[in-house]
A and B are shown apart, each in its own frame.
Chain A
């Protein structure tokens, strides 16, 4: 019932209008496909589980500038003070914060001889004590946590133990359990005693983001500048800041206590570029569809105005209202599908360019398809109103001299 052939030949005869529409749709598909792919990619990235109880973790910085302070002892005292604060579930020192964009990266090798040993992939290197996993809410799936008596204070002490993230274990040892294995770094030998299900590092864009190691070194004593993490229920986090400053200053006023930040805030901050990108691109896609729709409506309305007499004649010759509507719908679907095909190919090409220039993953074919489907919906919405209006043109228009 759809008379495609005459519509096509009529499209071919009118010069620039449909051509421009076609061009617009081609470009729209190319943009929408690539943009929605990037959006999806970023959203997926942001939805990755960190493995931490994000909303319960507060971190801050302490800088002891009193030269009299024995950092190692003070570190132990301060942690005990923190744990004694009401509403604090647990507290620990840490050398770095996950999702913070700054921290330590290191690697181990699997044998004592540096020249023959195989190197593990690079990982985020956390140093803390037996409280850390509890503070961060990370879950041990294999092996065990450190015991209080196993905690060292220096990197070069013997008896270094490590708990590693499952993705790192899988990557290096496959399905074999790494618990009990020994790895090496220079003179140091490290025994792996546990595996946590998930433990993200500091750099969200790094390919080794999921690879982490926690070692039994309470690093808070090594340095006058240190980071602590405390865990508390979300409702207490806000009040905690003031309490912490108060109790630590009561212990020794010669220090600066600042840079309070919850892990949720850190996560937001570290992903803000990706959120920004996803937001801008979403706005772009929506505006693009809006503009395309408005352009389409304008064009169809103009066409109807120009063809009023022709439409009247058709009606007089017995065309039903639905025939008129379907005429315009089919006309625009033809343009949309043709544009979609070319635009889809263009978008794959554009995706290839982006991949080679900015190491973006290759654009899956499903995105151009989604873009075309989206445009078909927009076309329908944009065309249906003026087309219905056109169908109500009176057959008497045929005889009127316009």
Chain B
């Protein structure tokens, strides 16, 4: 489904070069639910932007759904985003001027879907998140959890092959967070691949597979997860220490 090989991403300014990702490797199979965790600044967001074709990368190869999507034109990546990828953001990112139905239909508009078909899909998507009755409301009239469900409906309306969620519960209280999580699990069970970035360990544990990004590289613990928790803990400690050491270096160097 998704395969990243030796992806590197370097941000350059006049003064410094920052390696956001370095020789990053990841394979995600169809239908998987992957949780991505990692300390802030580790490259999670960069990973997500690259996975979602929102940003290019410096080196490496990225195949999505069997298609090589490295170095695509802006138009082509917009099309792939539109057809194959659904986004869910921490800040919901609904368009405030549009009502729920209009928000949900945005991806369908850009795909050029006919009006009747649009209507059907919008209703179905809102039905799925339990907000069909409020489709004429504006986003500001909803609670955070409801807004996030609309955002999920918007992602679903396009019937994407996989969903990218960036801290989908970050702005929600725990009850609402659980509801959203359940919704995501349902979606996953119906066959959609999901990659979710989160810093919430409990949520991450509910995913099939956990990966941690540290310092722009993957530490994949999933294979140990069920075997030996102590090893996982140990590895995590090593990773944390490595980070701490680097931090020390920066502090003392500066």
Q: Are A and B in contact, CB atoms below 8 Å, in the complex?
A: no
Partner-B contacts on A (CB < 8 A): none
